[in-house]
Amino acid sequence: MTDSHPVLELRGVSKSFGAVQALYQVDFRVAAGEVMALVGDNGAGKSTLIKCIAGIHPADQGEIVFEGKPVSVHGPKDASRLGIEIVYQDLALADNLDVVQNMFLGREELDGLRRLDEVDMEKRASKTLSDLSVTTIRSVRQTVAGLSGGQRQSVAVAKAVMWNSKLVILDEPTAALGVAQTRQVLDLVKRLGQQGLGVVLVTHNMHDVFEVADRITVLRLGQNVAEFATKDVTPAKVVEAITAGALSKVPGLSEEVLA
């Protein structure tokens, strides 16, 4: 499974903000049907990397290859056209709208008279949720305000996968959740992989990583310092890579100092 054709591959991606080198020569790949954990300390460049993929901060250098073809992503719309969806930590749900309305926000379906096609949208939303085995939501016509954190995360994920997406990036999906809700969301992440999507899980939480990830990429100071298959590695080793992984270059330091 892990050796299959990558759905997304980054080759030598660099990004700097003024004098700050946020990413340096990062290689990164995710295969279809694989859950790739992206771990690293604060400031390691995880968010910058996903923003490069999303086209929010286009990379300065390097190549993004999607399904075998080099692509240029200039904005969130390009990304979603390719089939890349990102679920941000704050979820971007409108509390006052119901589940269906949130899932279709910005991509509403209209009927022949240019009215909102509520029947069709409700049907598709319900189907997506049941395909993902999300059973905790009582009614898809409930407003999001009344949902628990785990349910909201499920809605945000379902919203992301509804559009034939091929790669879903989840930014700290369990950060604000309790034990039972974390369970729900991790199960959901596993199912996404089983359904053949590429999944990138950005997280701090080693437990989550070892629970669901097939492979682990470690970023440190903007560089890819290690890539592991989860089954071949211990949490201690991953933590070591996060805190002390070997760098090829330290921004601002010359090579001699490193050596």
Partner 1 sequence: MSSIAPAETPGAVARDRVTVGDAVRGWWQGVRGGDLGSLPIFIGLIIIAIVFQSQNSNFLTSGNFVNLIVQASAYMTIGMGLVFVLLLGEIDLSVGFVSGVAGVMTALLLLDDGNAIGAIPAIIIAVAAGAAIGTLHGLLITKIGIPSFVVTLAGLLAWQGVVLLLIGDRGTVTLSNPTVIGFANDFLPTATAWIVLLACVGIYAATQISGRMSRAKANLPTEPIVLILLRVGALLLVGAIVVAVANDDRGIPYVFLVLAVLYLFWTFVLNRMKFGRYVYAVGGNTEAARRAGVNVDRIKIAVFAICSAMAALGGIILASRLRSVDTGAGGGQILLYSIAAPVIGGTSLFGGRGHIKSAVLGALVIASIDNGLGLLGLSSGTKFVITGLVLLLAVSVDSLSRRRQANTGRA
Binding-site ranges for partner 1 (CB under 8 A): 76-77, 88, 90, 92-97, 101-102, 105-108, 110, 114-116, 119-120, 122-123, 126, 139, 141, 143, 145-146
Q: For residues 162 and 212, which CB has a smaller minimum distance to partner 1 in the complex?
A: 162
Q: Are 93 and 155 in contact (CB under 8 A)?
A: yes
Q: Which is nearer to partner 1, 105 or 244 (CB)?
A: 105
State in angstroms the smallest separation of the CB of 205 from partner 1.
Answer: 25
231 in Cβ contact with 237 (< 8 Å): no
User: Which of 61/139 has CB closer to partner 1?
Assistant: 139
Q: How far apart are CA 43 and CA 220, in angstroms?
A: 8
Which H helix or E strand runs over 256? helix 255-258
Minimum Å gap between C-beta 43 and partner 1 is 23
Report the residue number, 146 or 178, with the smaller CB distance to partner 1.
146
- Residue 147's SS3 state is coil
The CB-of-139 to partner 1 minimum distance in angstroms stands at 5
Q: Which of 102, 9, 24 is nearest to 61 (CA)?
A: 24
Instruction: Name the residue nearer to partner 1 (CB basis): 36 or 121.
Output: 121
How many whole angstroms separate alpha carbon 82 and alpha carbon 8? 11
Range 63-68, long-range pairs (CB < 8 A, 24+ positions): 63/10, 63/11, 63/12, 63/13, 64/8, 64/9, 64/10, 64/11, 64/13, 65/6, 65/8, 65/9, 65/10, 65/11, 66/7, 66/8, 66/9, 66/167, 67/7, 67/166, 68/5
Beta carbon nearer to partner 1, 120 or 131: 120
Give the whole-angstrom CA distance, residue 7 versus residue 15. Answer: 22
For residues 194 and 244, what is the distance between their CA atoms, to the nearest angstrom? 33
Nearer of residues 92 and 246 to partner 1, judged by Cβ: 92
Give me Rg for the CA atoms of the chain: 19
Q: How far is the CB of 123 from partner 1 (least distance, A)?
A: 5
In the complex, the smallest distance separating the C-beta of residue 79 from partner 1, rounded to whole angstroms, is 12
What's the closest the beta carbon of residue 221 comes to partner 1, in angstroms? 29
CB of 49 to partner 1, least distance (A): 19
